[in-house]
Amino acid sequence: MSSPAERYSRSRQRTSHPAVSQFRTEYPFDLDPFQIEACEAIEDGYGALVCAPTGAGKTVVGEFAIHLALASGQKCFYTTPIKALSNQKFNDLVARHGASQVGLLTGDNAVNPGAPVVVMTTEVLRNMLYVGSPALAGLGYVVMDEVHYLGDRFRGAVWEEVIIHLPDSVRLVSLSATVSNAEEFGDWLVEVRGDTKVIVHEERPVPLWQHMMVGNRMFDLFSEPEAPAETPPKHPTIDPQLRRYIRERTRFDGGEHGWSGKNGDRYRSRGPRWRPPYRADVIGRLDRDGLLPAIVFIFSRAGCDAAVRQCLQSGVRLATDDEREQIRLIAEEKTAQLTPEDLDVLGYWEWLDGLQRGLAAHHAGMIPAFKEAVEELFTRGLVRVVFATETLALGINMPARTVLLERLVKFNGEAHADLTAGEYTQLTGRAGRRGIDIEGHAVVLWSPEVDPDQVGGLASTRTYPLRSSFRPSYNMAVNLVEQVGRETARELLESSFAQFQADRSVVGINRQIARNERALADLEAKMTCHLGDFAGYAGLRQQIKQREKSLAKQGASQRRVDVAQSLDRLKVGDVVRIPNGRRAGLAVIIDPGTSPIADARPLVLTEDRWAGRVSMVDFTTAATVLGHLRVPKHFNHRNASARRDMASSIRNLRIPPDPSADRRRRGGVATDDPVLADLRSELRAHPCHGCADREEHARIAERAHRQQTDTDALRRKAESRTHSLSRTFDRICALLTERGYLRIENDTEQVTESGRQLSRIWSESDLLIAECLRSGAWSELNAAELAAVCSAMVYESRRDDPAAPKLPQGAVREALAATVRLWGEVSERESEYGLPTTREPDLGFVWASYRWARGDSLDKVLSAMSEDSNTVPAGDFVRWMRQLLDLLEQLSRADAIPSGLRATAAASCAALRRGVIAQQV
């Protein structure tokens, strides 16, 4: 029975916030205080930013905004960062409000778009705002789920565009994971959206226990304090039993292991090398301890698939016979539209075998139908262990009792790097199912390179700062100029979160400049010379150094030009000398590797029987033809016998050693440069040249020069950050005016017909695509050819140095050559205007797109890509096809684009949308 105080509090709340009171009755559980606080703020007319951990129930606040919209006869748009999350939220809201009240817009899908509540991806809402869609009429609320995506390097700008451009009358409800600078983000929302309440809730709904598994033994990561401390320790204490056990396993006592430890420590023994525990044993341990279902994060797609195979080979079974039948039915339902041939290609039977044993992988290399089946089966408790990459942690509602991390290092797109505290928190946030588990568990698998203190630091740190990735694009520029004009557009950009953060950072930069200037004054005092002006003398030394660097750079640049031209001239059978590197020596040209759309990369066979492609980096000087050999027309460089015979022929040519090797300039500086000679004469004539302390003063002067350089860089940084976005916008507008997308008319900028084409292209390569449309480079292509060429605009190889791709002959090659030439022009102008350059077209998906569009089977397309050494997993194939379809649909719908090309783009979409692609879009 509640107390009189509690009854009075509830009565007062019903009076002051009747909508919240009514909303609470719709749930079978009591709302948490942070949810009530946020809902009351929205009912009071405020916007809200709610930051809370995964699974804390942030979406209840978004659903309250929907409740208010429906009660007042207004619309509510619910935005999510990814289509899968939009689909999931759409199904939830249909179950709650009925199909007539809820719609879905994801670019691919349009279900009941005129409904009062519409779920959509954030990009869809951004596009609606730019084109002034009539669907915006009556919009009262926008919920932005996962708003921390604003920091995403590739797509984050979309969130800021929406927040800035929403009408003032719309109340914004932003839902975010816990970020450490929520107040800063909230301050910005107040500036651009008006009154906004920031509600931060850091307590997890289900407590999380941290563990380490060493071998097959499980340890708590932190030790329990003997008595409650008045002030909790900043860093919890690592369990001493864990430390002791690891120490015993790694000491030099003739034990069973030997490995390299963290920080270069060497652990050796007389036994075999350390091996990680078998995954079947790890899963068995989790199962015995009641810690399933579990998500095991492995930061590799191939690693996830290998983990499932390893468990199958070990005979792991986690599902009963009844569950196996349920699993089979759901898997068949999710893949019902796929043909038996496609299922065979996709490895359906092995995948189903894993599912029926309660095991699955989940990563971007799987087709969506497989991933959706895994998500549903895991949520139902039918699949007990999922091996996943970190992409699972982004958005999809798929919690587990336990999260296990096999490693604390992942590839970040550029290099292998340690997990950050924010990433660790995001991954382990999946552990603990609200309403099911009383506690969640995070387990890190120990290995010699994993230090318990490192894990403890990750587990006890809650820093996840939100950093804006916003920058104006060409598409954004023409849309803003057309809608609000140049000056108002600059003001809008100045109000972005990116500029807000940049302006705040300038304060700290100015403090550093002041410190640098004080240090510089001290250094200048220390290098005072009694013979004269040592600062002037040091300046001469710096000028000489810079002149030498400049001359060396000029020489290197000319050598690169000479090398490129010499490689272009090579023919089959030419024998050349590779001057340096691992492949140094004589080599014969098997295939010149020249192309109208790329630098030459000749296929060579060396006298040491190595065959492979070389490039400009392998030549420090121009390639000279030293002889010639006959190369058979169908010479197979993969055949060992053929390689051996050809290498013998190279050696039999008896070409003498390079006579100029010792005389070759190796980046040296020309000594006959008159400017350099004058500077050296002036240096020798300076009074300070004869100072006994000259070199000591010079070292101080060098430090002063570095300090001055750092200070100048900081000043430029501070200056660049002040009004940085509007200056970038001005440069973009200048380039667009030069290229004919904007024009000056009556002292105001106007959007041209070409500019209107650009305004309807939403792509990372928007300007390049517009250039191709305007120049007619794609106008003569048929449906399959257009799909092939457009794929170069969206595809991005996962490999740093992909193999030379196979390309269709004829019109496709000509269109690609024209596209690459236009890219060269655009990127050159971008560099001159100080703008980031557009990404170079990637040809790695051209052949697959062309073959799929002309009707080839999935098996043939994937096999052809494998033969071409540009292997793309089936899931990636579907994902890139989705992006290609998105671009082609833009071209087919944009009124400003010529009707002939629009019709071809529509035909391309129809050709692509079949089989596994038709099911997924």
Q: At what angle do helices 182-193 and 156-165 cross, to 10 degrees?
A: 40
User: What is the distance between the alpha carbons of residues 833 and 529, in angstroms, rounded to a whole number?
Assistant: 44
Helix or strand holding residue 489 (H, E): helix 486-494
Cis omega (within 30 of 0) for bond into 293:
yes
Report how far Cα 120 is from the mean position of its chain's Cα atoms: 22
What pLDDT does residue 386 have?
93
| Contacts with 152 (C-beta within 8 Å, 6 or more apart), sequence order | 81, 469
pLDDT at 830: 93
pLDDT band at 800 (very low <50, low <70, confident <90, very high): low
Provide the pairing of β-strand 603-606 with 611-613: antiparallel
Three-point CA angle 432, 87, 859, nearest 5°: 100
**Overall size of the chain counted in residues:** 921
Q: Is the pLDDT of residue 481 over 80?
A: yes
Residue 553: closest CA among 662, 669, 661, 672: 669
Q: How far is CA 261 from CA 215, 247, 272, 418, 431, in A?
A: 16, 11, 15, 16, 29
Give dist(CA 777, CA 108) in Å, integer.
Answer: 27
**What tens digit of pLDDT does each residue of 159-196 get?**
888 998 899 899 999 998 877 788 888 888 988 888 89
As a whole number of angstroms, the distance between CA 771 and CA 738 comes to: 13
pLDDT (average), residues 212-238:
69
The string of pLDDT tens digits covering residues 276-307 is 888 899 999 999 999 999 999 988 888 888 89
Nearest to 51 by CA among 190, 172, 180: 180
**Predicted confidence (pLDDT) per residue in 633-672, tens digit:** 888 888 888 999 999 998 888 787 765 554 444 444 445 6
Quote the distance between the C-alpha of residue 386 and its chain's center. 23
**Range of lowest pLDDT (275-284, 461-470, 667-676):** 667-676
Residues 705-714 have a mean pLDDT of 77
Phi, psi of 121 (to 5 degrees): -75, 155
pLDDT in tens, 850-909: 999 999 988 888 887 765 555 667 778 888 888 899 899 999 988 778 888 999 999 999
Q: Is the pTM of this model over 0.85?
A: no
| Residue 849 pLDDT level (bands cut at 50, 70, 90) | very high
Q: Among residues 419, 408, 399, which one has the least CA distance to residue 206?
A: 399
The confidence score (pLDDT) of residue 740 equals 92
pLDDT at 718: 64
Are the CB atoms for 382 and 374 separated by under 8 Å?
no
* Averaged confidence pLDDT in the chain: 82
Q: 617-639 in b/e burial notation, b at 16+ Cβ within 10 A?
A: ebbbbbbeeeeebebeeebebee
Is pLDDT above 50 for 267? no
Share of the chain above pLDDT 90, in %: 29
The per-residue pLDDT for 260 is: 35
Q: How many CA atoms lie within 13 A of 483 on its CB side?
A: 18
In this predicted structure, what is the pLDDT of residue 816?
Answer: 92
b/e string for 273-311 if b means 16 or more Cβ within 10 A? ebeebebbebbbbbbeeebbbbbbbbbbbebbbebbeeb
